[in-house]
């Protein structure tokens, strides 16, 4: 139904394969053997539906979890920007402990993309001491001085900030539509084998604030998309990479779709059409199609940066083009994530994530 658990798993596999650096392999040790049974960790269940505000907070008895926010922005001159704020949680054991002995490990990624530059920062922390964490009500998620904190009920209004050595941002968000429960009321099946996660989104944020760039501060406005997901038992280990699209069309509809590349069974696609009132329509494998049209040299590899995306059932045939092809996330586990512009049958804007390149 969506790509995020796959993403995190693949990140983990990448981390294990390349053993990029010890701290991350230490983090990755928490994910070791994810393909097999997740012993001791809680499994998602259809009988326990998603419930708010409880589920805005962390679930330490699940192995992995994230708060994933992306935004398409533009300034008074019409210059386009992208913004990312992500907090990952991974557990080495299905519990939380106070103090340094906490088995919960947190990782934050922040980025700002301009047409000519891409700024990235990363933070790592452990739970138990308050340096990083999340809270359901009143909602807040944070690592160091980065935070996403509610200023009203639930997650309808948020403050968002992060900074790195050469950039930072300070944003306010307010939702103009409902939270969208993915899959079966938030129970999102990932394979015929029964693997599943809890998954909901808030794709209807309006966002405004200040981007602090090395040369100047920029006042921007735009739209943002929050994904929340937690799980214990990710997908199989033959799924090696994916291309994930979130699209906001000028008509007010949203589309989430991804292509997952499996080394044994070939490509698998899935998508969710979200009407402007928030009503979701899920699509099975094959309905959504994405084809690379152009590649660019990014961080020493060939990465597709122009795509054709098709969803014939809704008459969608669009060209998705990276705002800045060099939006490479040079973090512990590296990947491409950046804003895109959409032209064709349904013009709009969105975000693209690609791994495995």
Contact in structure between 248 and 18 (CB atoms under 8 Å): no
Contact in structure between 151 and 159 (CB atoms under 8 Å): yes
Q: Which is nearer to other proteins, 90 or 188 (CB)?
A: 90
Shortest separation between residue 205's beta carbon and other proteins, angstroms: 25
Shortest separation between residue 227's beta carbon and other proteins, angstroms: 23
Shortest separation between residue 149's beta carbon and other proteins, angstroms: 12
Q: Which is nearer to other proteins, 77 or 100 (CB)?
A: 100
Q: Which is nearer to other proteins, 19 or 275 (CB)?
A: 19
Q: Which is nearer to other proteins, 131 or 172 (CB)?
A: 131
Nearby residues of 192 by Cβ (< 8 Å), 6 or more positions away: none
Long-range pairs for 283-290: beta carbons < 8 A, 24 or more residues apart: 283/257, 283/311, 283/313, 287/311, 287/312, 287/313, 288/257, 288/258, 288/259, 289/259, 290/243, 290/245, 290/257, 290/259, 290/320
Shortest separation between residue 18's beta carbon and other proteins, angstroms: 11
Contact in structure between 56 and 153 (CB atoms under 8 Å): no
Binding site residues, other proteins, CB under 8 A: 19-23, 25-27, 29-30, 32, 92, 99-102, 105, 120-122, 124-126, 129-131, 142, 144-145, 163-168, 212, 330-332
* C-alpha dihedral (45, 254, 177, 338), degrees to nearest 10: 90
Contact in structure between 236 and 194 (CB atoms under 8 Å): no
Dihedrals phi, psi of 235, to nearest 5 degrees: -80, 180
Q: Find residue 122's DSSP bridge partners.
A: 109
Shortest separation between residue 29's beta carbon and other proteins, angstroms: 3
Contact in structure between 29 and 92 (CB atoms under 8 Å): yes
Q: Which is nearer to other proteins, 166 or 250 (CB)?
A: 166
* C-alpha dihedral (311, 324, 208, 254), degrees to nearest 10: 0
Shortest separation between residue 5's beta carbon and other proteins, angstroms: 21
Shortest separation between residue 85's beta carbon and other proteins, angstroms: 15
Instruction: Compute the distance between CA of residue 350 and CA of residue 316 in angstroms, rounded to an integer.
Output: 15
Q: Which is nearer to other proteins, 121 or 175 (CB)?
A: 121
Only one residue has tokens 């209807």, namely: 204
Instruction: Provide the residue count of the chain.
Output: 357
Shortest separation between residue 60's beta carbon and other proteins, angstroms: 16
Give, as one character, the DSSP assignment of residue 44: P
Q: Which is nearer to other proteins, 126 or 314 (CB)?
A: 126
Shortest separation between residue 107's beta carbon and other proteins, angstroms: 9
Instruction: Compute the distance between CA of residue 108 and CA of residue 120 in angstroms, rounded to an integer.
Output: 11
Dihedrals phi, psi of 291, to nearest 5 degrees: -130, 130
Q: What is the CA radius of gyration of the chain?
A: 19
Quickly count: other Cβ atoms within 10 Å of residue 236's Cβ.
Answer: 16
Q: Which is nearer to other proteins, 122 or 229 (CB)?
A: 122
Q: Which is nearer to other proteins, 93 or 306 (CB)?
A: 93
């Amino acid at each position: 139904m969506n790509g995020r658990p796959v993403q995190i798993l693949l990140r983990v596999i990448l981390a294990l394969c390349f053993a990029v650096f010890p701290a991350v392999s230490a983090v990755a040790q928490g994910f070791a053997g994810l393909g097999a049974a997740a012993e001791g960790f809680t499994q998602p269940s259809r009988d326990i539906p998603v419930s708010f505000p409880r589920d805005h907070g962390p679930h330490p008895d699940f192995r992995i979890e994230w708060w994933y926010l992306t935004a398409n922005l533009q300034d008074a001159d019409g210059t386009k920007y992208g913004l990312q704020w992500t907090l990952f949680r991974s557990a080495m054991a299905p519990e939380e402990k106070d103090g340094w002995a906490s088995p919960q490990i947190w990782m934050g990624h922040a980025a700002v993309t301009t047409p000519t530059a891409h700024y990235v920062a990363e933070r790592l922390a452990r739970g138990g001491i308050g340096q990083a964490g999340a809270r359901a009500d009143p909602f807040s998620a944070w690592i160091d001085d980065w935070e996403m904190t509610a200023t009203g009920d639930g997650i309808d209004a948020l403050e968002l900030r992060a900074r790195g050595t050469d950039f930072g941002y300070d944003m306010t968000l307010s939702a103009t539509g409902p939270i969208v429960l993915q899959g079966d009321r938030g129970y999102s099946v990932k394979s015929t084998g029964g693997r599943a996660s809890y998954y909901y989104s808030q794709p209807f944020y309006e966002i405004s604030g200040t981007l602090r760039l090395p040369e100047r501060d920029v006042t921007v406005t735009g739209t943002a998309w929050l994904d929340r997901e937690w799980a214990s038992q990710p997908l199989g280990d033959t799924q090696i990479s994916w291309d994930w699209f979130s699209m906001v069309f000028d008509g007010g509809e949203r589309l989430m779709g991804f292509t997952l590349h499996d080394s044994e069974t070939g490509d698998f696609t899935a998508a969710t059409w979200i009407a402007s009132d928030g009503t979701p329509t899920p699509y099975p494998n094959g309905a959504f199609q994405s084809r690379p049209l152009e590649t660019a040299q990014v961080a020493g590899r060939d990465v597709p940066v122009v795509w054709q995306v098709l969803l014939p059932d809704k008459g969608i045939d669009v060209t998705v083009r990276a705002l800045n092809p060099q939006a490479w996330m040079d973090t512990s586990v590296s990947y491409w994530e950046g804003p895109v512009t959409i032209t064709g049958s349904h013009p709009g804007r969105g975000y693209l994530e690609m791994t495995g390149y």
